[in-house]
Structure 1
Amino acid sequence: MAENTFPVFSVDALVHFFRTEVLTGQESKHFSKSDLVPTPKPEVIQTLYMRVLHLLFRFKPECHSMVPLQANIQYPQYQEGVLSIVSVFIRMRQFLPMCLFFDFSMSDLLSPKKPRTLTILSAIMNFLQFRMLKMELLLEKQSKFREDRDRLQTIVRLNKEAEKKVSVLTTIPPEQQAEADELCAALSELHATTVQEYQEVNMKNDTIAEWKTKIAEKTQKLAQLKVEITNLKEDIAKLRSQIVESPEEFKSQMEKMRENVKNIKAAIVRL
């Protein structure tokens, strides 16, 4: 026999597991450690295997001893016992590879030995524990799936109700269609008027900007003229404070200054 890939449990652990998880009723009460050690009892082991097959595959124990309805079978009553053993053997040979036990033989049913029997039962126990664990996870996923499905159905229902409400709110009743058309026409006209007014406002803003530019230029020129006038006044004051030796020259300079003042005034008027 190849090395096992599963743990081999103690006799006490095996007895407790099969009493609580596989056997029921009187079979569970009567199953004890003495059924496995020192020498396993064939009838108990066979019953145990039948219960395992029933638990996993819903194959009832009485079905193992059913004789096929064939006309050429003589003395079928003598074959019932053999059929039961053969049926259990065939199905255990099919089942145990799932438990990673591959060399099940007829002697394991008719004259079971302690080491092999404990190994086989450990393989079955390991498989059933794995199955129960996966069943718990599966039940959790099923429960979550049902919750998600119910939630999805609720969301879909609410979504359909919302779509109906939106459809009602966005649909214009026939008696209000004429009024709605008038409002749409008025809105279009108002939009066109608003666009035109925006264009006019933009044109006026451009004109105002041009005038502001011109005013700024004229203001700058006026400031320059004021500076020139101030300079001329200073020059006149200096000339007055000086002693004039030649009245003709003084008159000539005064005439030039008056001419400059006239020119500046004329420039200011032109602005």
Structure 2
Amino acid sequence: QLDVLHMIYMRILQKVYGIRLEHFYMMPVNVDIMYPQIFEGFLPVCNLYIHMERLLPVCRINDFQIADVLNPKTKRTVRFLSGILNFVNFREFRREVYLELQMNYKSAMEKHQQLETANREAVLKLEKLNTVPVEHQAEVKQLTENIRELEQLLRQDYRRKQAALQEVISQKKSEMAEGTRKLNELKVMMATLKEEQEQLKSKIVESPEELKNYKELMKETVKKLKKSKQEVTEKYEGYRDLVEVLPSCQLEVQLYQKKMERQGANVEMLASVLSEVRNLEDQLESAQIELKKGKTDEMSLKRLVTAKHEKLSTAEIRIKKKREDVEQYKHTVFEYCNRVQEKRGAVYDKVTAIHKEIQQTRFKIQQLNENAEKQEMKAK
């Protein structure tokens, strides 16, 4: 039925373009119509045809005519409706994709803002860690210079004392080794002499002179052994005194070691601060990398959105061109109607003038006839 088809078309236009039902019964205000009473009965059908002619080229249907609204054919109507349904389904699908892209773009922008805020906070923390307050800069600089000078002095003094102590220790060790070697030699000599004494006891002759000489020789050797033993004991006592002095040097070395440990703790603290700074720099670099990724995602989304906008703009340009063509066609039709109306008025004026002339000639003929009859009556 024609009314049902018109209602379907109106519902489709309402869904696609948001045109309400009362808009089909309104007179267009952008067109100068000379005789609006002509359009009163034809206005809904004309508006429906105008809007459908704007919609169907978007659906790739370019042969829609006014006859398809006034006297629709079944096959053409089915083709029109299938094209409209395909367009509506495609529009809904692309709308979902567009909304998804829009949501992704919004989430990327939010992530981009979060990364920028985190980046700014990390930069502020890094600047706060790197910068020293103005009122403490001179003190910190003086302390660092004092610490460096003290470290250099302590290292030089420690190396000097350690070198001297090592030299003394090595010298004393060599002397102790020499003394122990001599003591061992003397012990060996004592043992050999005792063996010789035992051997000689068995071979002693009864000669008193030889015995006397031998005793003197033994006394001299005993004196030599005692003298060497005394020298060894004196050297041993000197070595023992040096070893007793050694703990005081060790205490001093321990003090220097403690100072070095404190300096090492300060260095470790400085290293921990530097490691924290490096961690912050790594976080900053990772945040910058994520920011770059977010920017690339943003650029890709912007390119997609611009491509969609370009497609929409081209479609709008086509629709605008079709509208302009329709408006131009309507304008030409209205101009033709106006010209026909003007020609009709001119013809009507000519016909009325001819009627007047005919009436005047008839009146003149009647008067002539009456005059002729009067003359005939007079002649009779």
Mark yes or no: TM-score above 0.5.
yes
Unaligned runs of 5+ in 2: 237-380
Q: Which residue is equivalent to 2:54?
A: 90
Check if 1:232 corresponds to 2:195.
no
Report SS of the residue matched to 2:12: helix
In the TM superposition, what are the counterparts of 1:241-260 in structure 2 within 5 Å?
Answer: 241-242=198-199, 243-245=202-204, 247=210, 254=218, 257=221
Distance 1:270 1:256 in 2: 23
Greater radius of gyration (CA) = 2
TM-superposed deviation, 1:267? 7.6
From the two aligned structures, give the one with the greater helix fraction: 2
Please give the per-residue CA displacement for 1:114-134, whole angstroms capped at 9, x wherever unaligned. 642552243134224313422
TM-superposed deviation, 1:211? 1.1
In the TM superposition, what are the counterparts of 1:108-257 in structure 2 within 5 Å?
Answer: 109-110=68-69, 111=72, 113=75, 115-117=78-80, 119-138=82-101, 140-141=103-104, 144=107, 147-148=110-111, 151=114, 166=128, 170-172=132-134, 181=138, 185=142, 188-189=145-146, 191-242=148-199, 243-245=202-204, 247=210, 254=218, 257=221
Indicate the structure whose relative CO is greater, using CA pairs within 8 Å and at least 6 residues apart: 2
Unaligned runs of 5+ in 1: 1-34, 97-101
2:186–2:225 CA contact under 8 A, matched in 1: yes
Q: Which residue is equivalent to 1:5?
A: none
Report SS of the residue matched to 2:56: helix
Aligned residue among 61, 64, 74 for 1:106: 64
With the length of structure 2 as denominator, give the TM-score of the two structures: 0.42
Q: Which residue is equivalent to 1:66?
A: 28
Distance 2:104 2:30 in 1: 42
TM-superposed deviation, 1:204? 0.7
Distance 2:95 2:224 in 1: 118
Q: Which residue is equivalent to 2:17?
A: 54
Q: Which residue is equivalent to 1:44?
A: 7
Please give the per-residue CA displacement for 1:164-194, whole angstroms capped at 9, x wherever unaligned. x949x94435xxx8xx757754764564345
Q: Which residue is equivalent to 2:377?
A: none
Distance 1:253 1:138 in 2: 120
TM-superposed deviation, 1:43? 0.5
With the length of structure 1 as denominator, give the TM-score of the two structures: 0.55
Structure 1's 166 and 187: CA in aligned 2 closer, same or farther, altered over 3 A? closer
Report SS of the residue matched to 1:106: coil
Give the CA RMSD over aligned residues.
Answer: 4.8
1:46–1:109 CA contact under 8 A, matched in 2: no
Distance 1:122 1:186 in 2: 83
Structure 1's 48 and 129: CA in aligned 2 closer, same or farther, altered over 3 A? same
Distance 2:225 2:100 in 1: 109
Identity %: 13
1:229–1:261 CA contact under 8 A, matched in 2: yes
Distance 1:270 1:153 in 2: 80
Question: How many residue pairs are counted as aligned between the two chains?
Answer: 215
